[in-house]
A = this chain, B = another copy of it.
Amino acid sequence: MVPVHFKPKGRGTMASKKTIEGNMLIAQSGGPTAVINQSLVGAVLEAKKNKEIKNIYGALHGIQGILDENLIDLKKESKTTLEAVANTPSSALGSVRRKPTPADCVAIFRVLEKYNVRYFFYIGGNDSAETTHILNEEAKKAKYPLHCFHICKTIDNDLRQNDHTPGFGSAGKFVAQAFMGDDLDNIALGGVKINVVMGRQAGFLTAAAALARQDETGGPHLVYLPERPFAMSRFIKDVKAVHKKFGRCVISVSEGIVDAKGTPIVTKGASAKEVDAHGNVQLSGTGALGDILAQEIKRKTSIARVRADTFGYLQRSFAGCVSETDAKEAFGVGAAAVKEAIGGARDGSIAIKRKPGRKYAVEFKRVPIRSVAKETQHMPAKFINAAGNNVTQAFIDYAAPIIGKLPQVGKLKRIPVRKA
């Protein structure tokens, strides 16, 4: 049941609403997630049901695999294997971070034509949507008939058009579970604990830490997001205030926090910068930001115990920590993309829309690829408190059903013994 609310104008050589027979090619791109294979398997199993799609090819390592003609036959994979792969984190087809040049596009079409590929699905985030958009536009220019679809994923939850994205729920669950345990650790030993969470431009994942809170004394006590400028002096003031109140302080901070001028805080201590093909500075895979913040607290306060952890790549690929909602929806967007293509739609990206009403429910909608490509979406103001150092209840209400069930925490009542 995938209601289609958007109908792109028919362009290129394909008759609108007419499906052509041919082969399908699917690939994965960008950072892996815990459920990106659900989308792959959702698409493959749906394609297997339809006779319009002859062969089902997987390109290894995204568009790189097309350029290298490094293709595998997904129709030869058993249902058992596919189902096991769906439940396995990281990109089963391999991934890539490569933005195609016009020359790449020409080369890609040659390969697609050679293998009679008429259905193309690219699973990824906003950069991958951009790649899909470029390919789609080039296909139109070249009058190459292609059903071209982007299937969304990103733990950052920053794709426009989407209420939330596949991958966020499971990464958020990991972050929340990590903070649950870490807050108890901080209660036991005291001091200040900083945890650096992924999120280049959007703070959703960093904010997900708030779901760990068990009561009004529970951490994270402070949440710093890329959506609000970060000032070191204000940060120190916040930490001192929380530490004075609770005798401890747990902080969730996004790797992507920037100062008022937009300069990433992490670059202030970094010796070397690394930039990927899409112009993104390397923020993950280094403990620098946590160390910068911990050093500053040690310098500016008398708090003895200050520790920083950087969750790094664990939060996107940890085996055995998946949100059921997330897994189901990730499978759904993959299947929906194929249904749309079989139904005759030329192109699009499958977005997750939340249905109005008290009970959590979503629907998948086809939207223009360019409307999710390149630019990212940020946390809305209603999710961030006025001081810019925490999230609101509205965020908790938004994220809870996506992240799903968390472990139960038992606490002693701690009834004091009367002094002898």
Contacts and interface: CB of A to CB of B under 8 A. Distances in A.
A318 interface: yes
Given A88-B409, A287-B286, A294-B286, A181 B317 contact: yes
A182 B313 contact: yes
A348 interface: no
A407 B317 CA distance: 13
A114 to B, nearest CB: 4
A307 B198 CA distance: 14
Interface string A241-284: 00000000000000000000000000000011000000000001
B185 A317 contact: yes
Contact of A408 (B84, B115, B309): B84
A180 interface: yes
A266 to B, nearest CB: 11
A57 B83 CA distance: 51
A178 B314 contact: yes
Contacts of A409: 84, 88, 319
A81 B177 contact: no
Contacts of A285: 193, 294, 306-309
A106 interface: no
19 contacts: A28-B188, A31-B189, A60-B414, A69-B419, A72-B416, A77-B415, A85-B412, A87-B408, A92-B410, A94-B187, A94-B188, A114-B420, A177-B319, A178-B319, A182-B313, A287-B288, A287-B291, A309-B311, A320-B407
Contact of A413 (B81, B272, B414): B81
Copies of this chain present: 2
A138 to B, nearest CB: 21
A193 B313 contact: yes
A323 to B, nearest CB: 12
B185 A319 contact: no
> What is the size category of the interface that chain A forms with chain B?
35 or more
Interface of A: 28, 31-32, 34, 37, 55, 57-58, 60-61, 69, 71-74, 76-77, 81-97, 114-115, 177-178, 180-182, 184-185, 187-189, 193, 271-272, 284-288, 290-291, 294-295, 298, 306-314, 316-321, 406-417, 419-420
B415 A317 contact: no
A32 B417 CA distance: 24
Contacts of A58: 412
Contacts of A320: 177, 180, 321, 406-407
Contact of A178 (B60, B74, B180, B318): B318
Contact of A414 (B28, B72, B87, B321): B72
B318 A177 contact: yes
A37 B172 CA distance: 26
A205 to B, nearest CB: 15
Contacts of A291: 286-288
B417 A57 contact: yes
Given A181-B317, A420-B115, A412 B93 contact: yes
Contacts of A318: 177-178, 181
